[in-house]
Amino acid sequence: MNNGINIIETTLLRGRVQLLQPRQGFHASIDSVFLAAAAAVKDHAALLDVGCGVGSAGLCVMARNKTIHLTGIDIQPELTDLAHQNATLSGFAAHAAFFCGDIRNEKHIKDNSFNNVLMNPPYLESGTYTISPEKIKATSHGEGASGATLADWVKYAHKKLKQGGHLTMIHRADRLDDVILELTKKRWFGSLVVFPLLSHTGEDAKRVIIQARKERYSPCVLKSGMVIHKENGKYTKEAEAVLSDATAIVLR
């Protein structure tokens, strides 16, 4: 038990990242690892993980580059408490801090101060799904539970990034049009790179990684992406390198 929550212990990246997670509700998945792999971090960069949950994505970036300074924010205090513990378990506590807050009104994290922002927003648009009775799962999976829309997430990332900083996001492929619209309608972001993730060869992409830069503008680039599984269900060589060896996905 941990603050009244049933906890399970898991790992990512062959044990480099140690995670305590709620037994019920949202669990960190390979989406977090792929998102982290695409973060364009340089040594000593300031990285903000928006909707950090238990810290999985940001800590996976730190497993690749221990010099970065990680800040995470999530609306659920149960999860940020676990994120602090996970940073300690993984050996990254000296350069990681996590805060509980609502991105629609948070005032404690300094604006215009981050080189990189990571985010894995709730995939389901408000009004298009039935909200789960499980609070943690509901808040993580859909926009309706927390009240923050995709537009709110993009606005927050713009506020926190330095000029020219990188936003890296993973989302459902069938919402790519929504993501591009929110990133570009106020010219807050440009220089988009889209990287599809396909479960199997020949299938449509189910997930996309999108990277954009704050107020930098060049033509959008659509990458060939990555196939995750072979026909026998095992990971492809490229996916295994990301999931086990913390290999980066280079988008630029």
Q: What digits encode the pLDDT tens for the residues 223-241?
A: 999 999 999 999 999 999 9
**91 within domain boundaries:** yes
* 244 vs 100: CA distance, rounded Å: 30
Q: Is the pTM of this model over 0.85?
A: yes
pLDDT at 26: 72
Average pLDDT of the residues in 8-24: 94
Residue 139: the pLDDT is 47
145 — pLDDT class (breaks 50, 70, 90): low
Q: Could you tell me the pLDDT band of residue 23, with boundaries at 50, 70 and 90?
A: confident
Nearest CA-CA partner of 212 in 109, 116, 103:
116
pLDDT tens per residue, range 158-201: 999 999 999 999 999 999 999 999 999 999 999 999 999 999 99
129 domain residue, yes or no: yes
Residue 251 located in a structural domain = no
The answer to whether position 250 is within a domain reads no
Neighbours of 13 (CB within 10 A): 19
- Top pLDDT among 19 and 132 is at 19
Kindly state whether residue 252 falls inside one of the protein's structural domains.
Answer: no
- Following DSSP, what letter does each residue of the chain receive, concatenated? -BTTB-EEEEEETTTTEEEEEESSS----HHHHHHHHT----TT-EEEEET-TTSHHHHHHHHH-TTSEEEEEES-HHHHHHHHHHHHHHT-GGGEEEEE--TTT--SSPTT-EEEEEE---SBPTTSSPPPSSHHHHHHHBHHHH---HHHHHHHHHHHEEEEEEEEEEEEGGGHHHHHHHHHTTSSEEEEEEEEEESSTTSPPSEEEEEEEET-----EE---EE-B-TTSSBPHHHHHHHHH-------
Domain, as residue range, for 143: 7-245
Residue 209 lies in a domain: yes
Long-range contacts for 234-240 (Cβ within 8 Å, ≥24 apart)?
none
For the domain that residue 30 is a member of, what is the CATH number? 3.40.50.150
| 189 belongs to a structural domain | yes
Q: Could you tell me if residue 2 is inside a domain?
A: no
Q: What's the number of domains the chain is made of?
A: 1
The mean of the pLDDT values for the chain is: 91
Supply the pLDDT for residue 132.
44
